[in-house]
Chains A and B, each alone.
Chain A
């Protein structure tokens, strides 16, 4: 994995799409009738929730591939996706709470989607803590892959368990309380694109950072072995 010219392109593109999405959220999307301006947080909230879940899926998938192939690059992707996903899921929980306060009258409620985000957040945090808690890199890679797989499998079970337990969330796409207009849909789709582009950019940068760390570790090992850095 090397830095490429299109890494810049990717970063610039995601900034561009993001600014477009931001503009659409405030200028293009209509004001929602019952919830008012607060509903505008919905576009970024849903987009970050989608990325939070998608990143988890990537961690799961690359974990499976790593266990089969034992190639470091899959582990790097798995780790990067989990860390970036943690940032997005944190944002989902925060924007969800901000939305819930004026609409439901409370920052926190044990509503299924809010709860499953919290559960996912805990799983991500556990995964990241596991990554930093053992010494051998090859070992931690295997452990993390297994944990990523088990964690991903429990998410749908948690989802059903919580859903059967209670539900008061607005059913957006199945014609519940909040009717969605075409302009709202366009804004949502551009927001999803913006968050996806941002995710890919961050994933790529995090993976490159990990590669640099590997190179640094290899150089340090050589330096210790030879007693000299030599020609780098």
Chain B
């Protein structure tokens, strides 16, 4: 079976499992909405304050709700011994990694597809723009890549739900700075080319992390 078909099979398996239970998606949704509402109360986000804080609020919400999804996605493999099955079925560890990362990426995109219109309503800024979609895509891709690698580590530690954010968030700092700055620039009415330096940072981050993750994932899942 070709590598692409194997990756497709893993993604299809993850999405099918999620459609049956919807436990990850519903948890991420509820958490994202909660975060938006709590930010609005805590920072008193109305009018100008909402517009100024929107990029930070958006990416913090994505970052925190993402850890919920990653944590569950790998914990599910662990509980059902699915990871052993995957390790037996797929020759190449890179295929398993790509499949799991792509699955988490898609789940996060589904949540973001709701988060962006919701943020538009609650924060009073237009988050539904094509250029902004590109930034969200790049940011989420990098997040899912690093997140999948770190979740595979965290799931084997004693306090896995605690370890995941502690390990993951410091690694995401360049990604978050780039995504927040690019989003802020676009919301101020700059064009995509004018936030080019941040877009390039996101692209470099995504590529570099994908390379490192593909090279090291094998050491993480070895039993």
Contact = CB atoms under 8 A, between A and B. Distances in A.
Contacts of A162: 177
B222 interface: yes
Interface residues of A, number: 29
Contacts of A145: 219
**Among B146, B159, B171, B177, residue most surrounded by chain A Cβ atoms (within 10 Å):** B171
A150 B209 contact: yes
Contacts of B204: 157
B159 A142 contact: no
Contacts, number: 86
B216 A134 contact: no
Given A150-B146, A153-B208, A161 B173 contact: yes
Interface stretch (B27-35, B102-110, B162-170): B162-170
Given A126-B170, A154-B171, A154-B173, A164 B158 contact: no
Main SS at interface, chain A? helix
Main SS at interface, chain B? helix
Interface in A137-189: 139, 142-143, 145-147, 149-151, 153-154, 157-158, 160-162, 164-165
A123 interface: yes
B149 interface: yes
A143 B220 contact: yes
B108 to A, nearest CB: 19
Contacts of B146: 150
B149 A146 contact: yes
B201 interface: yes
B178 A161 contact: yes
Given A123-B170, A126-B166, A160-B201, A146 B153 contact: yes
A225 interface: no
A225 B66 CA distance: 46
Interface in B165-223: 166-167, 169-171, 173-174, 177-178, 181, 197-198, 201, 204-205, 208-209, 212-213, 216, 219-220, 222
Contacts of B201: 157, 160-161, 164
A135 B158 contact: yes
Given A67-B216, A153-B212, A161-B201, A130 B170 contact: no
16 contacts: A67-B219, A122-B170, A125-B166, A129-B166, A130-B153, A130-B167, A134-B157, A143-B157, A145-B219, A147-B167, A149-B212, A153-B209, A157-B201, A157-B205, A164-B181, A164-B198
Interface of B: 146, 149-150, 153, 156-159, 163, 166-167, 169-171, 173-174, 177-178, 181, 197-198, 201, 204-205, 208-209, 212-213, 216, 219-220, 222
